[in-house]
Structures are given as structure tokens and as C-alpha cells.
Amino acid sequence: MSSLRVLVGCKRVIDYAVKIRVNAAQTAVETAGVKHSMNPFDEIAVEEAVRLRERATKDSKLPKVDEIIAVSCGPTKAQETLRTALAMGADRAIHVEVDDKVALQPLAVAKLFQAVVQKENPNLVILGKQAIDDDAGQTGQMLAGLLNWPQTTFASEVGVAQDGAMQVSREIDGGLETLSTKVPAVVTTDLRLNEPRYASLPNIMKAKKKPLAKMTPEQLGVDITPRLETLKVIDPPKRQGGKKVESVDELIDKLKNEAGVL
Amino acid sequence: MLSRQLLGSARNLTQRVSRHPVLFVTRNFASQNTPLDPTVGLTEEQVELQTMAQDFADNEMAPYMQEWDNKHHLPIDVLRKGAELGFGGLYVREEQGGTGLSRLDTSVIFEALATGCTSTTAYISIHNMCAWIIDQFGNNAQRQKYLSQLIPMDQLASYCLTEPGAGSDASSLTTTAVKKGDQYILNGTKAFISGGGNSDVYIIMARTGGPGPKGISCFIVEKDFPGISFGKQEDKLGWNSQPTASVILEDCEVPASNLVGKEGEGFKIAMKGLDGGRINIASCSLGAAQASLETTIDYVQVRKQFNHTLGEFQNTQFRLAEMATYLNSSRLMVRQAAQLLDGGSSLATSYCAMAKLYATDRCFNITNDCLQLHGGYGYLKDYKIQQFMRDSRVHQILEGTNEIMRVIVSRNLLKA
């Protein structure tokens, strides 16, 4: 191994700052007319890929990054998310178009990524540890399983050496855990891995000219039929206002008879 | 969706947790798909530029605008960070290192930035106007020397036309420039100079010839040239994140090579710069009004009096509808004027003047009416409304007062 080909995942999700609402039919969260942007953890993934490239240009001992390919599975609008990735520094993009009405579940996405990996032959896949819409946090692990590649999840630091040996730190309860592995591998990003850059105005304009290929699940030979059925989506119960009690006796009485915790 | 509440955007997490929880108001994109939506009518690419500028405003400016106002601090680090993204030479040509955007694109970007800090954005817009003057009217040596410093905002620029005795009647200016060998010797005082004392480069209009506009020339004067000094920092109602001072020229020695264009072209250059400058300032007003109105829409749905939210009263509803209408009409005029300027229309000056007159008046009134809907709270510096109001007040005065805008428009109406 002397150089890296990096594939990064870019999911289009409801923007982090939007107050989300359940739709009228209680089948999902309302997405119509709501601002969307790239999943923040995927922004970190793109940033890390670009930084791997930048570090290698400054240090000849590090493996060169030949190509950064951004991949998104979703509706036509996912192309906007891919343009953001291209503006941040990805070289080209692949859009696997899936109709808005189809519930795309982690296993299906992992299989789509598996098919794209087999087509494009990257030796490093960087994904967000989870997407902030459904918080599944499964795609990276499933993809590693399907590819039979090592996985280093929730990365807070990623280092790749010239021979392809990787050192990945992850935050655990007691401190930091460092994993060693070798490319090809799947990495999922945690929040403190890096702070994503803003795409500059010239790069936003240049991104328009970078190639964006379209594919369908059928072309990739992947069955994306959902395996799970969502029965109902409801708001969390509204928070009730508290009450003041007059005495300790009243408090104990309420804890015993109303709250039932004593 | 749990991670959404816990984390938010990775980029600004550290800033978010350090902010005061009660006063921390995140923009909730309430304006998307409402009659306040600033993306209406824009191309996909313009929306991308706008989104980036808005992210920058939300993360790098909005959390600090009150502090900058309070401490009278020009955030040079933030300006340079913005310049790395292309904000330092937005409509300077690409081959000169600029971003090469249209005036319309530029207006969209300044509007978005101004929601984060109107005063700081207004300063960025003045810097951009100066960079454009050098690109447009300077020679290659001047472009090479100054634009390479101004576009990354390593050096900052100021525009110097107004004098203590020459405000609206700008062409009566009395600062003189006398040629002496390979130098011009400048004498006079420039007043109300944004960035004065802080900027590195001053675009100065001075008289080389007879009275009237045709006797005026344009010079690039550096902070370190012998004979330039600065008055005290002015204490202002708003625009506190940028310094304002008079620029005093006492036998100031300027190399003849720093004359921009030819002798006698200064007033024309100054006015051309202001056409774009007026759109820029009006765009800053749009941003101030947009941010004020978004906050107010949130506020009236929470604040209760007489057992009803303010938003349930028809007075409030009608006010909001009117403000949204005026904001939208202002935006349309500003963007139309920008397009005329982009197209090189001979009507551009009149339309820039109409847009500046209309948008800065209407948008100031919007910030003021939003303050009224906030009641006593709006008067507190804890809320941003009063700052948007103070910062946008001066837009009715500078880059040509709104009275002078009327002069320009009526002159062009009656000449036919």
C-alpha cells in the first residue's frame, strides 16, 4: 500500500437547528419544506478525508490520498449534499438515487455502500458514526461486516502510515482507547475528530464542475426493501409542570401514593 | 433524533455550550418556506453561497455581535477567517485574486452575513468597495501591491470622501493634492472614516484641479506615509464593532504612482464605488431586518399578555404581515438594482439610489417596530433587537444620505 483511495458517506438530513415535528399521519418526521443539510458526523468524515490528503502533502512519510469519493444514498436532493462535500474537497461524487417515499434502512445503505466499494475499490471508508435523523448508528458496522474489513468506530483521532497500518483513538468511559489495524478498513467518526471547514466561495463554484455520477439500487444489484416496519411515530409526552408541597409529610404522601416510588 | 438535541452541529459545538442558556437563541430557519424566505428567486448556486454565508454568520458572528458592540471591538480574526472563504474581494475579478462574484451574489452574501452582525458586515462591505476601486480603476502595479494584501484582509481599507465641511455636497471637498516632483502633497481632513486609524490603506479623494467634481482625484494612501494622522475614535450610536475617526493630512507625501486613474477622475471613481456601496449597505439593512423579524416571530408566539400570546392579537398579526411585505419589497428593489449594475445599465445609479433609499428606510422601521413588539425587553441590551436597530440607523445617513438619494432620483426624472 502506498496511497489511499477514500470513500466517504454523506447523508442528507434535516438540519440540526430545525425544530422537528411529527407528520400528521404519525408515520414519520415531517420533511417537506424543512431545511436539510449534511449530517454533521458526515461533515466530519469528509473533513478527515481532506485532512489526510493535506497532511500527506506536508509530510512525505504519510500515504498520498489519490482520490476522495463522496457517496450519498437518497432522493434527488441528496445531490445538494454531495455538492457540499465536493466544495469541501472531495474529488467526485456518486449519488445512489432512492425515492423519497422508500424508507432507507441501515442494512440497505450498508449493502449499497458494499456494492459501490466493490465497484470503486477504495481502501478506506469513512462514515459518520450515526446520522442525526434516525440515530441508528449501524451502517458502518454492517458495512465492515459485509466487506469482511476491520472496523474502527467512534474515532476521535485517525492516523494512517505509509504501509497502511492505522492507529485510531476512540473515547471510552475511562479515557482513550487506541486501536491498531490495517487498511482496507471502515472508520466511523465521532464528534471531536475534527472541526469541519466552511467551503470557500471559489470552491463552491468549482464544485459545480466536479463529476457527479448517478446510480440506482437496481444497477448495483441491491435489494433495498425495508426489513423493519415503523408502526407509529409520536411526540414525546409534554412535560408537566411541577408542584410545590407544603410539608415533608405531604411530600412523602405524594411519593408513596401519586408517584408510587416509595 | 436524540443526538440532534445533544450535539447539534459539530462545527459550533464548543461555542454553543459556552453561551448563556437563556439568551442563546438559535436561528430555527422559521423563515424557510414562509413569506420571509430569502432564497426565493435565487439560483441553486446562489442558495449555496447564501447557505455558507449564513452558516458563517450563525457560527462565527451572531454569538459575539453583542460583545463586539459592547467592547467596541473590530474582530479582525473573524474578518481574516471570512477572507479565507472569499469575503475579502467578493466582486474583485478572479484573475486579480478576487472571488469574481456578481453584485447580486454579493448582495445575497452581505444580507446573510448581516444577520450575524450588521456593523461588522457593513465594514466588510466598505473594504470590498475599496478593493473593487483598485481592481477597476487602478493600474497593474497598484493591483499587485494592494489587492494581494486586501483580498486576504491582511490589510484593511477605508474609503475617504466626506469632510467636516463637505458631506452631502461631496464635490465641494477642500482637501488638496499638489504635485511636487514625483509626489503629491495632500492637505485636509476627512471625516467619519470607517476603519479610520485602524485601516492600513486609505482611498482618498482630493482636489488636484479647479472647483467642482472635475477637479478631484483619487489616491491610495498608506497608514505609514509621512503626514497622515487620525482624530479621536468617535463615540457612536451604533456600528460600534468598527472604528470611526477622522483622517488628517498635513503635508502628507504620497508617491505620484499612487494616483488612481488620471487626475480629475476621482469624483467619478468615488461615485462608481458608491453605486455598489449603496447596494451593499442596503443589503446589510435587509439582514438586520430579517434577523429582527425572525426573532420577533418567535417572541410573539411565546410572550403572553391578557392570557393570549402576542401573536394571537390581530394588531401583532397585521404588523408582522406588513413588515414581511416591506422586507420583501426592499429585497426585490435591492436585487433588481444589483442586477442592473451587473448588466452595466445606465439606469443603475438611479436604481441603486432608489433601492438604498427604500430598503434602508423600510428596514430601519422594521427593526424599530420589532423592538416595539418586544416591549420593555426590546429596550434591553440583553436582546439583539436594539443593536440591529442602532446599527441600521446609520444606513439612512451614509453612502449618501437618503435625502441625496432623492436628489439623484429626481435629477434623473427631470432631465428627460
Kindly report, residue by residue over A50-83, the tens digit of the pLDDT.
Answer: 999 999 999 989 999 999 999 999 999 999 999 9
Look at residue B1 in the predicted model and tell me its pLDDT: 53
- Considering only CB atoms, A204 lies closest to which of B27, B49, B58, namely B49
pLDDT of residue B362: 98
CA B258 to chain centre: 26
- The topology (CATH level 3) of B268-414 is Butyryl-CoA Dehydrogenase, subunit A; domain 3 (1.20.140)
Grid cell, residue B200, equals 492600513
Provide CB contacts within 8 A for B85, sequence distance 6+.
A198, A199, A200, A201, B52, B56
**Cα B36 vs. chain centroid, distance in angstroms?**
21
What residues does each domain of chain B span?
28-150, 157-267, 268-414
Is the Cβ–Cβ distance between B340 and B361 less than 8 Å?
A: no
Q: pLDDT higher for B8 or B67? A: B67
CA B144 from chain center: how many Å?
Answer: 25
CB atoms within 10 A of CB B262: 11
Supply the pLDDT for residue B25.
41
Min Cα–Cα distance to chain A from B49, Å: 6
- Please state the rounded mean pLDDT for residues B336-342: 98
Whether residue A130 lies within 8 A of chain B, CB to CB, comes out as yes
Instruction: Mention every residue, 6+ apart, whose C-beta is less than 8 A from residue A73.
Output: A11, A96, A98, A104, A109, A112, A113
Beta carbons of A87 and A202 less than 8 angstroms apart: no
Q: For residue B97, what are the CA distances in angstroms to B101, B148, B152?
A: 12, 7, 9
The predicted structure's pLDDT at residue B30: 54
Partners of B10 on chain A (C-beta within 8 Å) are 40-41, 43-44, 191, 195-196
Q: Is the pLDDT of residue B11 over 80?
A: no
pLDDT tens, A130-163?
Answer: 999 989 999 999 999 999 999 999 999 999 998 9
Q: What is the mean pLDDT of residues B178-205?
A: 97
Q: Is A66 helix (H, G, I), strand (E, B) or coil?
A: strand
pLDDT digits (tens, 9 = 90+) for A75-113: 999 999 999 999 999 999 999 999 988 889 999 999 999
pLDDT beyond 50 at B28: no
Alpha-carbon gap, residue B73 to B114, rounded angstroms:
16
Confidence of residue B6 (pLDDT cuts 50, 70, 90): low
Please give the Cα distance from A196 to A84 (Å, whole number): 12
Q: How many CB pairs under 8 A join A and B?
A: 85
Q: Least CB-CB distance to B3: which of A44, A83, A135?
A: A135
Say yes or no to pLDDT of B27 above 70: no
Mean pLDDT on B270-299:
96
Mark yes or no for CB contact A202/B56 under 8 Å.
no
The identity of residue A154, as a single letter, is F
A49: left (phi over 0), alpha (psi -120 to 50) or beta: alpha
Contacts of A34 in chain B (CB under 8 A): 29, 32-33
ipTM value: 0.86
Of A130, A196, A198, nearest to B3 by CB-CB distance is A130
pLDDT over 60 (residue A229): yes
Residue A111 contacts B, CB cutoff 8 Å: no
pLDDT at B29 over 90: no
pLDDT of residue B31: 72
| B318 Cβ under 8 Å from any chain A Cβ | no
CA distance B81 to chain A (A): 10
Q: How confident is residue B19, by pLDDT bands cut at 50, 70 and 90? A: very low
pLDDT of residue B193 exceeding 90, the answer is yes
Model confidence pLDDT, tens digit, residues B137-159: 999 999 999 999 999 999 999 99
To the nearest whole percent, how much of chain A has pLDDT over 90?
81
CB contact under 8 A, B2 and A135: yes
For the cut 70, the answer to whether the pLDDT of residue B5 exceeds it is no
Domain B157-267 is found in CATH 2.40.110.10:
yes
* Enzyme catalytic residues of B: 399
Res A240: pLDDT: 84
Residue with the three cell numbers 418556506: B33
- The CA distance from A110 to A143, in Å, is 5
Domain limits of chain A? 3-259
From chain B, the residues in CB contact with A201 under 8 A are 49, 52, 85-87, 90, 99, 101, 109
Query: H helices of chain A, where?
Result: 40-58, 78-88, 106-120, 139-147, 201-207, 217-220, 248-254
Kindly report the nearest CA distance between residue B179 and chain A, in angstroms: 41
- Looking at CATH, the fold of the domain delimited by A3-259 is given as Rossmann fold (3.40.50)
Q: What is the mean pLDDT of residues B15-23?
A: 33
Whether A80 contacts chain B with CB within 8 A = yes
Q: Give DSSP secondary structure letters for A82-133.
A: HHHHHHHT-SEEEEEE--TTS---HHHHHHHHHHHHHHH--SEEEEES--TT
- Which CATH fold topology does B28-150 show? Butyryl-Coa Dehydrogenase, subunit A; domain 1 (1.10.540)
pLDDT of residue B123: 98
Q: Is the pLDDT of residue B33 over 80?
A: no
Give the model confidence (pLDDT) of A18-52 as tens digits: 888 899 999 889 888 888 999 999 999 999 999 99
pLDDT of residue A33: 83
Q: What is the mean pLDDT of residues B94-116?
A: 97
Considering the entire predicted model, what is its pTM?
Answer: 0.89
CB contact under 8 A, B52 and A199: yes
